[in-house]
Copies of this chain bind each other. A is one copy, B any other.
Amino acid sequence: MRLSARNVLSGKIVDVAKGQTTAHVRIDIGGGKIITASITNEAVEELGLKAGDAAFAVIKASDVIVGKG
């Protein structure tokens, strides 16, 4: 499936931390940059996400704030 989301960043999962309903997944996208995603535990299980997996961080352009200075 191709997506309208402008930002699809490939990387490798470095960490999956599950809480009671919500999990945090950290993806190394290269160049020393890590993206943290907060997703449902259900998604972690359904996709079988674990450290070492190749994965994408998908971010809609309207969810990006620009900072300066």
Residues of A within 8 A of B (CB): 1-9, 17-25, 27, 29-31, 33, 35-40, 42-44, 46-49, 53-69
Contacts and interface: CB of A to CB of B under 8 A. Distances in A.
Given A22-B19, A40-B38, A57 B66 contact: yes
Contact of A37 (B37, B47, B54, B65): B65
Q: Is the interface of A mostly helix, strand, loop or mixed?
A: strand
Nearest to A25: B66
B59 A4 contact: no
Contacts of A68: 1-2, 47-49, 53-56
Nearest to A5: B65
A42 B53 CA distance: 23
